[in-house]
Structure 1
Amino acid sequence: MKTKDLHLATVGGGCFWCTEAVFQEVKGIENVVSGYSGGNAPGHPTYREICSGLTGHAEVVQITFDANAISYEDILVIFMTTHDPTTLNRQGADRGTQYRSVIFYHNDSQKEISEIVLKELQAYYEDPIVTEISALDIFYEATKEHQDYYKNNPSQGYCSFVIKPKLAKLRQLHSDKLKP
């Protein structure tokens, strides 16, 4: 058996519950943690502070992946095709900088791959891609009630009306990348 080659990817595509649910179904993903990054407020921000839009943080997920099972490029393609990367600071009804489309790269290689993927995918979108590409500074883990949200609340209204369609899109576009 091959040794795992574990790496981190950090992305935000609106509400972290959606992005978390998507990547929990993808082969090669070892762990997905909901949290915040990209802000300027001192200390560990709270969910309430993030929702105010005043801290500058985005809701993100930090993904631990096995590079022997899935590439960083594949993660970005899945990410970019399961949310709308053409709406500035908005995903559906969620509005504000905390819901921006963003890739936080961990190294120069991830930065370069991110730039290439966005450039290649632009051809598939009528409107310009507005996804931010920024260096990861600090990742703050969200509290326990925000982890595994869809798994723990599948019949909750937001899950039914917002997350389920994203999962359907994932299954349609990337069925070859899903866990059995």
Structure 2
Amino acid sequence: MAMEEATLAGGCFWCTEAVYNDVVGVTHVESGYTGGETANPDYRSVCAGGTGHAEAVRLTYDSDVISYADLLDIFFHIHDPTQLNRQGNDIGTQYRSAIFPHSEEQEALAKEAIERAAEEWDDAVVTTIEPLEEWYKAEDYHQDYFEREGSRNPYCMAVVAPKLQKFRKSYQQRLKANA
């Protein structure tokens, strides 16, 4: 196994985490915060928009099973990379579309993925490539949130569930359940 990490921000981390928990080759998904100025941010301070952090996920994956490029293609399929500092009704820089490469190779692949995505979208892709900074794990109650709370949370039913359904329909060959 060739274990690597990827850090991505595409709106609410509950949405992104739920999708990548289903992806074959992804062994761990952690929700957290990165890309900001404040040390030790918490959910309330990040949601208030003053820390500069993005809600993000850190993936651990087996690159012998799934490539970083494939993870990025999924990323661009499960959120709208043309919305600046928002995803739907989630508004603010904490919901920005951003890639935080762990290496120069990942940075080059991120640039290529943005170019591929730009061909798929009518509007300009505003996803940024940002330097990987300190990672702050989100509070425990945010981890595996959709799996634990999704059926009881109206936001999850209205926002997360449709994204997950779209992913499962489009990427059946990438689902752990079908591996």
Q: Say yes or no: TM over 0.5.
A: yes
User: 1:15 offset after TM fit, Å?
Assistant: 0.4
Partner of 1:50: 46
Q: Which runs of 5 or more structure 2 residues have no equivalent in the other structure? A: none
Cα distance in 1, alignment partners of residues 109 and 20 from structure 2: 19
Provide the aligned C-alpha RMSD in A: 0.7
- Quick check: 28-37 or 135-144, which moved more? 135-144
User: TM-score with structure 1 length normalisation?
Assistant: 0.96
Q: Which runs of 5 or more structure 1 residues have no equivalent in the other structure? A: none
Structure with more helix by fraction: 2
Partner of 2:81: 85
Q: Deviations over 1:61-113 (max 9, x none)?
A: 00000001100000000011100000000101100000000100011000000
Partner of 2:147: 151
Runs of 4+ in 1 over 6 A off after TM superposition: none
**Partner letter of residue 36 of structure 1?**
Y
Cα distance in 2, alignment partners of residues 174 and 157 from structure 1: 25
Q: Does 1:177 align with 2:167?
A: no
Partner of 1:122: 118
- Quick check: 150-159 or 58-67, which moved more? 150-159
Q: Where does 1:21-170 land on structure 2 (aligned, <5 Å)?
A: 21-41=18-38, 43-155=39-151, 156-170=153-167
User: 1:16 offset after TM fit, Å?
Assistant: 0.3
User: 1:176 offset after TM fit, Å?
Assistant: 1.0
Cα distance in 1, alignment partners of residues 113 and 170 from structure 2: 16
**In percent, how many aligned pairs have the same letter?**
47
User: TM-score with structure 2 length normalisation?
Assistant: 0.97
Q: Deviations over 1:20-76 (max 9, x none)?
A: 0000000000000000000011x2101111011011000000000000110000000
